[in-house]
Chains A and B, each alone.
Chain A
Amino acid sequence: MDLLTILLQGLLAGFFSCALGIILTAPPGYLVPVFLCGFTGRFVRDGLMSFDLSLNWSTMLAAAAIVLVAAAILRRHAVSPVTLASAILPLAASASMFDAILALMRVSGSTGEALQSASVSLIFNASKLFMTSLAIALGLAAGMLIVRMIRGENAWGSV
């Protein structure tokens, strides 16, 4: 993936996060941080993947980067749940979730080779979904641990 594509994907993720922030009723002052965090997450993930780092490691580091950027740019340097919620979703394995659901539907109504193929697809997509979600959770936890070590009990933002 070239730098221009990575930048464009990052911008799309930033705009997506911003729109999601509006749906989640984030106060207007939070929309720019939400955009920057959304951009950072996708940019870091795609950038690391372009250096041949695996999807899971890249996702974990991107999730941690989102927390650190949020804490760095938000007022009072606190972690804001709405910023995290809006910025993390572009990293989620949404396509795998959809494919896993479709495979699950096929498994219940197939026989023979079709059943084998659907089962393999179900296992593959479910494991990808699980691993990506785990990577996000670990990345968030690592990022919050760092913020908490620096900020102590006052690590949380008001929204």
Chain B
Amino acid sequence: MEAIERALDVALIVMENGGSTANAERTFRNVLKGDKHEGGAVGWRLDLVTVSVTGPDQTSTVVRAIGPVGVNLVRASAAVVLGERVARGEIRPAALPAEIERVKALPLPYKRGAIMVASAFTAAFICRLLGGDMAAVGIAFAAGGLGAFFRSVLRAMGLPQAPLTIVCGLVSASLAGLGLRLGLSSAVGPTLVASVFYMVPGISLINGFLDMVSYRHLLIGLERIASAAFLFLALAVAVAFAYSFVI
């Protein structure tokens, strides 16, 4: 069971940092392979994972809670690579705890300012792609950037994902609505949609889709897609509120 626990430690890093279920399971199997352990049946959910191992006399089950799922793909990637190295025998099981701590300590690859600027440009580019004029692009740029700043502040305060999305969606869409209300642009649709685009749950959506088409992770795939749909709904409410403010 110790080998199972160790393998789960690494696999959960993948799950908790936005990695796909296929990668988490592959990492789990890789670490077990390095431990010369056959493993067992694994069941994934967004909130917990269960592993059942059938021995000669009895069946044992390990249940581990999965923490809040965030996004740090550098960490997820490092955990996958760690699993591969363990499977190849480059890292011995005894050295694994130290490696796990190293991976867990990896920071985000981009600073807060870079993410804010990227959010502003995301809003600007998608606004233009949706047919917005240059004034609309400017409004979306400002609304997206300021909303992203607000999001980083609220995230640092530990606000959970759903309220964070609603509040920041309202802030960004209202700022965009204010720009439209001032008559800076007449492209209402592109400006409002673009202003909240930086919060689109792309990773949940694509991981959910990949889980579902793999056929092996249908349940967690549905969970991920339902979670993404809920966040989309929150953004839609924010945009609808801003629209009623504009007209």
Enumerate chain A interface residues (CB-CB to B < 8 A). Answer: 9, 12-13, 15-16, 19-20, 22-28, 42, 81-82, 84-86, 88-90, 94-95, 97-99, 101-102, 105, 137, 140-141, 144, 156, 158-159
Contacts of B236 in A (CB 8 A): 97, 101
Q: Does B172 contact A (CB under 8 A)?
A: no
Q: For A81, give its contact among B129, B197, B210, B244 (CB under 8 Å).
A: B210
B73 touches A24 (CB 8 A): yes
A64-B126 Cα distance, complex, nearest whole Å: 21
Q: Mark B90-110, 1 if CB is under 8 A from A, else 0.
A: 000000000000000000111
Q: For B125, give its contact among A19, A99, A105 (CB under 8 Å).
A: A19
A50-B26 Cα distance, complex, nearest whole Å: 42
Q: For A84, give its contact among B19, B121, B148, B206 (CB under 8 Å).
A: B206
The verdict on A16 contacting B126 (CB below 8 Å), with A25-B108, A85-B203, A95-B190 known, is yes
Apart from A85-B202, A156-B210: 8 A-B pairs, beta carbons within 8 A: A22-B115, A22-B118, A23-B118, A24-B71, A24-B203, A90-B129, A101-B239, A159-B73
Q: For A140, give its contact among B131, B209, B244 (CB under 8 Å).
A: B209
Q: Does B174 contact A (CB under 8 A)?
A: no
A19-B80 Cα distance, complex, nearest whole Å: 24
A2-B22 Cα distance, complex, nearest whole Å: 41
Q: Does B74 contact A (CB under 8 A)?
A: yes
Write the nearest CB–CB distance from A119 to chain B, whole angstroms.
Answer: 18
B119 touches A88 (CB 8 A): no
Residue among A42, A85, A86 with most chain B CB within 10 A: A85
| Count of inter-chain pairs, beta carbons less than 8 A | 124
A144-B215 Cα distance, complex, nearest whole Å: 13
Enumerate chain B interface residues (CB-CB to A < 8 A). Answer: 18-20, 22-23, 26, 71-74, 76-77, 80-81, 108-110, 114-115, 118-119, 121-122, 125-126, 128-131, 148, 189-190, 192-193, 197-198, 200, 202-203, 205-207, 209-210, 213, 236, 239-240, 243-244
Contacts of B108 in A (CB 8 A): 25
Residue contacts A-B, CB under 8 angstroms, 6 given: A20-B198, A24-B202, A25-B71, A88-B206, A95-B190, A159-B74
The chain A residue sitting closest to B206, CB to CB, is: A85
A95-B148 Cα distance, complex, nearest whole Å: 22
A20-B115 Cα distance, complex, nearest whole Å: 9
A99 touches B189 (CB 8 A): yes
Write the nearest CB–CB distance from B169 to chain A, whole angstroms.
Answer: 13
A20-B118 Cα distance, complex, nearest whole Å: 7
